[in-house]
Amino acid sequence: MTVLEEISKELSIEPDKLIGIGLRAYFEKRLSAIESELFLLAKKYGVKNIFEFDEMIKQGKFHEDDSFEEYFKFDNLEAEREKIMKYLEKI
């Protein structure tokens, strides 16, 4: 008997449902962390999203060299948030 089977039997929950509950909890926790990081970046630069951030750089309000790493962090976090939200819709 696998650990999953053992736990699902003890909790009287189907293994697939137990996996779904675990995935949902993981994704919700990760989404919360991502949104916190995005909030801090948005607040730091006074923008709402990566598109506004990009526009500010184009306008010369931020130097690309100074904000290069955070620009890509912002972009990656937004992409990961979208992916997680799609996964949550499927669970």
pLDDT tens by residue, 1-30: 899 999 999 999 999 999 999 999 999 999
Decide if 30 contacts 87 (C-beta within 8 A). Answer: no
pLDDT tens by residue, 59-90: 988 876 778 899 999 999 999 999 999 999 99
State how far the alpha carbon of 10 is from the alpha carbons of 4, 14, 21, 23, 25, in Å.
Answer: 10, 10, 16, 19, 20
Cα 27 from Cα 81, distance rounded (Å): 9
Q: Which residues contact 73 (CB under 8 A, 6 or more apart)?
A: 37, 41
